Amino acid sequence: MSPVAVIITIAIYFAVLFFISYLAGRKADNQGFFVGNRKSAWYVVAFAMIGSSISGVTFVSVPGMVAVSGFSYIQMVIGFAVGQVLIAFVLIPLFYRMNVVSIYEYLENRFGLSSYRTGAWFFFISKILGASVRVFLVAIILQWLVFDPLGVPFILNAIITMLLVWLYTFQGGVKTLIWTDSFKTFCLISSVVLCIYYIASNLNLNFSGMVATITDSDLSRAFYFDDANDKRFFFKQFLAGVFTVIAMTGLDQDFMQRNLSCKNPKDAQKNMITSGVMQIVIIMMFLMLGVLLYTFAAQNGLFTPQDVINGTQQSDKVFSDIATGGYFPVIVGILFVIGLVSSSYSAAGSAMTALTTSFTLDILDAKKKKEEEVVKIRKRVHIGMAVCMGLLIFVFKALNNTSVIDAVYIIASYSYGPILGMFVFGITMKQQVRDKYVPYVALMSPILCFILQKNSEAWFNGYQLGYELLLLNAFFTFVGLSMLIVKKKS
């Protein structure tokens, strides 16, 4: 696929996106930017949230990771669905009852100002790193497809990428994102379904033949119960999925900002459960696509799963190399670009809106100011978020690591763990804690987790700590807060 064709595809996509953004956000005020004026229809939010949860990392990395991990990722996704049920019936009623704009206001009401700021800062650090990793992946692929052939340096790529994200979110915030993400979800689902169709057709497979090819493949093993030391062990992945989604969705300003835009808590609950079920279906399609890609590559002598394991073929390039390599009609390459751009920019746009909201309201405490002042602060912060994410993308490029799906979850394990521990303690315990010492507990927990992760194999007979680091991190925070309980005077 030529660089010019890629550029035209992206230009047409963004023209439609900007048009939707203009229509949805032209009359948005601060409440529209932050919570969509709490008038969003739940089914629209549910559909839109798929585009946010399925990032460019998922779009590119999940099909490629089938070579190493098979379908084991589905174990974690099942955990996601269970976690979303818990969010729907525990956290959503709590946040609606408190009528919060930023969910970290709960920590201030429960513990005090230091806890509130600690939660907000941990979210900010985690979100800006995680979102930048996701955008970095799409920037790298666009560099391979477009900018390298045209001789454009990566730094200009990063600037253009963040400028586009900033342009379509700066006016309407959540009110805009609900509708732009719905459009992007449609593009994402259409692209993966049609890519599966064209690749299966090229392999001369009808529907039953495609299913048989996938189920007969050694790459389609989904459940691992035999080795507790394996990172793919079912209960490790399942429990990690449950608590990861509670932390990365239920305690994430980005995703909860959308839920809080629904008209009432019941609608928000419908949205959460519906999007959880749909996510399982869509992730399964990505895994199926992965098997078909490796089947096609092997039949045409391109590469094998063993090449990915050996490191001679990058897993994150499997989908892009085949989809844009001229092996299929040009529509497959166009669908790949649309799916990649829609998934990646969706995650980046929603992250930038959430970061702007949290930094403006939680860290700068602008909610106490007048409407006009908040608008000025919010717009400056929004520009600052775009600049920070652009700089981080360039740093990731300097580190030269494109295998990023693990990086996203590792970042989440270290940074969302203290937030999860604070919320669990606040909801399950009635005691008050010494608020001023909470930041020290939140900092010590990730440090202890890092020490354990580095030494787990030596200390625990070969046991490898994986995504369950999040749970361990939350546990350390919970224990630390228990040591700060204020004893009542007798």
Give the mean pLDDT of 73-83: 91
pLDDT at 203 over 70: yes
Q: Which of 15-24, 79-88, 273-282, 302-311 has the highest mean pLDDT?
A: 79-88
Give the SS3 label for residue 251: coil
- Calpha distance 11→192 (Å, rounded): 20
| Predicted TM-score of the model (pTM) | 0.73
Q: What is the pLDDT of residue 467?
A: 65
pLDDT at 32 over 50: no
> Could you read off the pLDDT of 129-167 as tens digits, one per residue?
877 877 787 788 788 888 888 888 888 888 888 887 777
Domain ranges of the chain: 3-482
2: region left, alpha or beta (phi > 0 left; psi from -120 to 50 alpha): beta
Give the mean pLDDT of 467-473: 81
Give the mean pLDDT of 75-94: 91
Fold of 3-482: Sodium/glucose cotransporter (1.20.1730)
Query: Does 25 or 435 have the greater pLDDT score?
Result: 435
pLDDT above 70: percentage of residues in the chain: 87
Q: Note the Cα 304 to chain centre separation in Å.
A: 29
242: phi then psi, degrees, rounded to nearest 5: -60, -50
- Calpha distance 64→305 (Å, rounded): 9
Using a 10 angstrom Cβ sphere, with 0-12 exposed, 13-18 middle and 19 or more buried, the burial of residue 196 is: middle
pLDDT above 90: percentage of residues in the chain: 17
Q: Which of 35-44, 169-178, 190-199, 425-434 has the highest mean pLDDT?
A: 425-434
Query: Does 14 or 151 have the greater pLDDT score?
Result: 151
Q: What is the pLDDT of residue 457?
A: 81
pLDDT at 193 over 90: no
192: phi then psi, degrees, rounded to nearest 5: -70, -40
The torsion angle over the Cα atoms of residues 473, 478, 479 and 483, rounded to 10 degrees, is: 140
Confidence of residue 380 (pLDDT cuts 50, 70, 90): confident
- Calpha distance 238→233 (Å, rounded): 9
Q: What is the pLDDT of residue 7?
A: 84
Q: What is the pLDDT of residue 35?
A: 47
Least trusted range by pLDDT, from 36-40, 183-187, 338-342, 344-348: 36-40
Query: Does 355 or 433 have the greater pLDDT score?
Result: 433
Query: Does 97 or 482 have the greater pLDDT score?
Result: 482
Query: Does 489 or 317 have the greater pLDDT score?
Result: 317
Mean pLDDT, the chain, as a whole number? 81
- Calpha distance 98→86 (Å, rounded): 18
Give the mean pLDDT of 163-179: 65
Query: Does 64 or 399 have the greater pLDDT score?
Result: 64
- Calpha distance 369→96 (Å, rounded): 23
pLDDT at 352 over 50: yes
pLDDT at 241 over 50: yes
Inter-residue contact 180 to 188 (CB < 8 Å)? no
Query: Does 485 or 25 have the greater pLDDT score?
Result: 485
Tokens of 13: 């996509």
Give the mean pLDDT of 351-370: 77
Give the mean pLDDT of 302-331: 83
Give the SS3 label for residue 433: strand
Q: What is the pLDDT of residue 213?
A: 92
Inter-residue contact 470 to 424 (CB < 8 Å)? no
Q: What is the pLDDT of residue 333?
A: 84
Inter-residue contact 52 to 259 (CB < 8 Å)? no
The DSSP secondary-structure symbol of 317 reads G
Query: Does 314 or 108 have the greater pLDDT score?
Result: 108
In sequence order, what are the beta bridge partners of 433? 485
pLDDT at 226 over 90: no
State the CB neighbour count (10 A cutoff) for residue 468: 19
Q: What is the pLDDT of residue 191?
A: 83
Give the SS3 label for residue 485: strand
Q: What is the pLDDT of residue 206?
A: 92
Confidence of residue 56 (pLDDT cuts 50, 70, 90): low
Contacts of 355 (CB under 8 A, 6+ apart): 124, 127, 128, 131, 253, 254, 385
Q: What is the pLDDT of residue 401?
A: 52
Q: Which of 332-336, 337-341, 477-481 has the highest mean pLDDT?
A: 477-481
The DSSP secondary-structure symbol of 307 reads H
